[in-house]
Structures are given as structure tokens and as C-alpha cells.
Amino acid sequence: MDTAKACIAITSKNRKEELYECVLSALRQTIHVEILVIDDGSTDGTSEMLSNEFPLSRYPNIRVNRSEQSLGLIAQRSRFPLLTKCPYIVSIDDDAIFVSKHTVAQTLSEFNHPRIGAVAIPYIDINYSQDIKQRAPDDQNYLDDSSGYFWVAEQFRGTAHALRRDVFLALGGYRPQLIRQGEEGDYCIRMLNLGYVVRMGAADPIHHMESPKRSRPEITYYTARNNLLFAWHNVPMPDLCIHLPATIYKNMIAGYKGGYMRQAMSGIIYAMHLCITREWRERKPVLRSSYSLSRRLRKCGPMRSSALDKLLQGEFSVYG
């Protein structure tokens, strides 16, 4: 059997019905892939379902790694490169599926420049709209590289992205203390600081069917908490003096509008406690140039790599 170039990595907890459909869709890809499922301490029989439905004797490319105790989504995702040797890791949520059998092959073709550290795979939040998110404005660019450019985004969404394993290892993966929510922005700004970018993809989109088991109060809490930790860990001075108060204000407003003000405030207070008592040791802000470029991408949207050529004085040339 040929060595797999990509590992489709999925972390799951107590969603065995959604996970079953996710794994089935991964098996239909046109190229040989390794499928890694991390069971984050499920109590609903997730690992047993996988053993029964996808026995190793019939599906040797599926591997299941179970943690008896839940470590959290982000901590488990940080283990991906330790559990696979594939040069590329395609990460999707357990409540998402590959509708097209070509998506992984198309995505791997987009790692065609040494500065591309990650690809944001197009996806559709199928329960809400038919809008395709994370798709490059010029969706022909992965088919026609003669254009000489690709689109660069600020970050990818956790539900649909692909990573270079070597870059992931160089960065030390995600910050496990984030638990869940917000790991993408933290990872991408640190990756940008090393000179790697997120390419917007143009592959056939993944369908994300948000699980009804998601907890909005919990998401609000961790979003507020981790947005503050992002600022503390990454934002250089003097920008932190503006970014941090603005982050607190925006998360309070978001919590109020969403009906979860108490959870937002709890997340903010606990993050401030962490920064004072523990996370001050972890503060390693990025360069101001990296921070400024990240903010520009957030404010103005995706940029052509040719525009980055000018910003980085030619060092980013897509012609190598």
C-alpha cells in the first residue's frame, strides 16, 4: 500500500452518530489517506462503535486513539502530529462531512509554495445557509497556477483546514490551555510570525452540520476567555494597551446581545486571573509587523500573495 500523504484527523466526544457519517465520507476520498480519530473520553460508546463498524482487519488506514479522561478539543488536536507521520494533516469536526471525494486531493495541490503553512478549506454551514465560506475569491487559482498568485487569509476555521505537519511541530501546536474556541487565531498569528501564511482554498466544500449537542453558554465563556488570552500571549506593546480593553468591551457586548452576559463576564474575569497568576510566563508577543499584517487581513479581508510581495519586500515571491 502506498504511504498516505495526508492524515484526516478528527477529534470527537460523545457524538458517535455524527462521527460515523464523518468517517464514512473520509473513506471515499480519491487519494490514499490515513484516518485518525481521537476519542476525547467519550461515555457514549464512541470507540466501541468505531471498532464494530470499522474493524482494523477491513480498514487498516483507520486508527483510533482513546483518552480515558477528557483533555479538551484543543489539547487533543495538538497531539495530531505526534500520532501521524503524514506531511499534511486535514482536520475537520466530527459533525462535518466530505461531500466530494476530491476535496483532500484538491487541497493538497494548494500547498504549492513553501510559505503556505495552512489551507482554509471551503465549507458550508449547512443548517444555516448555502453560502460557501473560506473559498478564495478567484476559485480557479488552484486549477491554474499560471496566475502567479493565491489568496491569503488571516486565519482558518477549525472545522475545515489543512496543515503542514513540519510547521505545526515548529510552532509547538496549539496552546492546550485554551481548552476549546479560538485556537485558530492564536495558531495563525504565531505561524505568520514565522513567515508562513494561510491560503484560502478552492476545493469542493465540506458540509458542516452543527451538532445540536453544542453548548452556547460554554462557547460564550471560552470565546471571551480565550480572546483575552490571545491578546495577552501575542499582541506586542504598545498595541496591547488598546487591543486588550477593546477585547474586553467587545466580548461583554457579544455576551449581552447573545443572552449569555454572565458566561462572558466569567470568561473575562478568569482570563484576567490566569494572566496575573500563571499566563504571564507564557507571554511571547509577535513582531509588530506580524501583528499589523494580521490586523490588516482581519479588517480588509483576504489579500493576493502578490500584495504581500510588496509588504514583505519581495521575500514572499510566489516564484520562489
DSSP secondary structure of 245-308? HHHHHHHHHHHHHHT-HHHHHHHHHHHHHHHHHTGGGG--PPPHHHHHHHHHHHHH--EEHHHH
Q: How many CB atoms lie within 10 A of CB 184?
A: 20
Q: What share of the chain is helix, strand, coil (3-state, %, to 5)?
A: 45, 20, 40
What Cα–Cα distance (Å) separates residue 133 from each residue in 130, 182, 228, 284?
Answer: 9, 17, 26, 31
Q: How far apart are CA 283 and CA 1, in angstroms?
A: 45
Domain boundaries along the sequence of the chain: 6-208, 216-282
For residue range 148-176, list pLDDT tens digits in order.
689 999 999 989 999 999 999 999 999 98
Segment 127-155 mean pLDDT = 78
For residue range 52-64, list pLDDT tens digits in order.
999 999 999 999 9
Buried b (16+ CB within 10 A) or exposed e, 5-21: ebbbbbbbbbbbebbbe
For residue range 10-36, list pLDDT tens digits in order.
999 999 999 999 999 999 999 999 999
Q: How many CB atoms lie within 10 A of CB 250?
A: 13
Q: Is the pLDDT of residue 2 over 60?
A: no
Residue with cell 464523518: 22
Q: How far apart are CA 106 and CA 123, in angstroms?
A: 14
Q: Is the pLDDT of residue 247 over 50?
A: yes
Q: Is the pLDDT of residue 285 over 60?
A: yes
Segment 81-107 mean pLDDT = 96
For residue range 98-126, list pLDDT tens digits in order.
999 999 999 999 999 888 999 999 999 99
Q: How far apart are CA 294 and CA 300, in angstroms?
A: 10
Q: How far apart are CA 217 and CA 19, in angstroms?
A: 23
Q: How far apart are CA 269 and CA 84, in angstroms?
A: 38
Q: Percent of the chain at pLDDT above 70?
A: 92
Number of Cα atoms under 13 Å in the Cβ half of residue 172: 6
Asked if residues 80 and 35 have their Cβ atoms less than 8 Å apart, the reply is: no
314: Cα separation from own chain's centroid: 28
Do the bridges between strand 62-67 and strand 197-200 make them parallel or antiparallel, or are there none, so unpaired?
unpaired
The pLDDT of residue 314: 44
The pLDDT of residue 139: 60
Taking Cα atoms as reference points, which of 35, 249, 98, 130 lies closest to residue 107?
98
Asked if residues 251 and 261 have their Cβ atoms less than 8 Å apart, the reply is: no
6-208 CATH choice from 1.10.1040.10, 3.90.550.10, 2.40.110.10, 3.30.360.10? 3.90.550.10
Taking Cα atoms as reference points, which of 80, 128, 135 lies closest to residue 107?
135
